[in-house]
Amino acid sequence: MRILLILFSILFSTTLVSQEIVEFRGIGRTGHYNETGLQKEWPEEGPELVLKIEGIGKGYSQPVVADGKIFITGIKNDGTDAISAYDLNGHLLWETDYGRSWIRTYADSRSTPTYENGKLYVASGTGQLCSIDASSGEILWRVDAVDKYNGEVPRHGDSESPLIVNDLVVYAIGGEKVGIVAFNKIDGTEVWISKSLGGAKSYASSVLFNYLGNDIILAQTAENLIAVNPDNGEIIWNFDLIQFHKGNQGQGAQTNPALSYNNEVFVTSGYDHPATMFSLAENNQAVELKWENVNLNTHIGGVVLVDGKIYGSNWQHNSRGRWACVDWETGETHWDEEWFNKGSVIYADGMLYLYEEKNGNIALVEPSAEKLKIVSTFTVDTGTGPHWAHPAIYNGKLFIRHGDVLMVYNIKA
């Protein structure tokens, strides 16, 4: 493995703010990153590259940064998912093989680790769930969850990032016997099981939604959106999503974490499945469809909600898509525009960050309901394969993963 250190740790001299939970797509898996003082325009050549780490392993997962370390998964040995920890100078601290990788279609690591209080929680491409000590890389416990509970992994492998809810690690199983399992995060013992409603696991990670003061787990299987009581695993309500999957492609492919706000939940999954908005009843015992929108059928890049507008890309076919903005309240499409190709989107300090999946173009965008307002762009020219890893922002740095290379850019103003 070669490590190219561009600048020294002085560029990381600001102490990293410790968050209780650091996870996929930032705060609450919403695509929002709690950063301030970021650049509102980049130089013509793009922001300054301050660190490049090569040889991190093949993967589509994003890095997380916590406790002064960079954690990332990747396939480094054939057939095995590994998680690695680097210091902020890019030096490898430890590397741990933690499970069997997905070796069929798109054989790259998928699961972004979840960090909490010195521990990491991560799943392999075949459904092995692990807790790992973030200081040493020691595996604290491992459950071969999909095999143990006769689960069913989707056709392109398990992409779930485990969800931490209080003392639990929540993980979807899929299949005909078990829906979701909650494990004790300390020792990996089973705490509760929710019943199966049928259908395989989905690609989408679960999220936690607080409604009327009560926490609800929002999970997706290949067939359903499911609300689960985190205290006991009981299903509060569910909604049939596969009824919207009427084309020949992507049937059962729920691909993005649900997005929730007030008493509503937004779900989107590409493949010409319409994006759907659901309203919860006041007693939290039911949900009903509020609107559908065909312009924001996001494939795998996630969406963000900013000032009542949802931003993301859409699906025209597996290798093509546009960008769109939709009104949260009404479902109206404000704009639907071409910009290279579809991809992922995150938000921080008043700006959107788009990462186009085919050629690695990155844009800094001003949120607007009028049009796609691109302020600055640059292109990632290192790494191989599709640009499917979602970007992340920590401590004024933009983290971009492409294949087995991680690039870190200084975007502090």
Counting every residue written for the chain, the total comes to: 413
Q: Tell if the pTM clears 0.85, that is, is over it.
A: yes
Tens of pLDDT along 248-282? 788 889 999 999 999 999 999 999 999 999 999 88
pLDDT band of residue 1 (cuts 50, 70, 90) is very low
The candidate with the shortest Cα–Cα distance to 169, out of 117, 213, 126, 212, is: 117
Question: Does an H or E element contain 146, and which?
Answer: helix 145-148
Across the range 107-132, mean pLDDT stands at: 96
Q: Which of 46-55, 71-80, 396-405 has the least mean pLDDT?
A: 71-80
Beta-carbon contacts of 342 under 8 Å, excluding residues fewer than 6 positions away, are: 298, 299, 301, 313, 314, 315, 316, 320, 321, 322, 323, 356, 357
Residues whose CB is less than 8 angstroms from the CB of residue 15 and which lie 6 or more positions away in sequence, other chains included? none
Query: What is the model's pLDDT at position 19?
Result: 47
Going along the chain from its start, the domains and CATH numbers come out as: 3-410 (2.130.10.10)
Q: What are the pLDDT digits (tens) for 286-331?
A: 899 999 999 999 999 999 999 999 999 999 998 899 999 999 999 9
Residues 234 and 282: beta-carbon distance below 8 Å? no
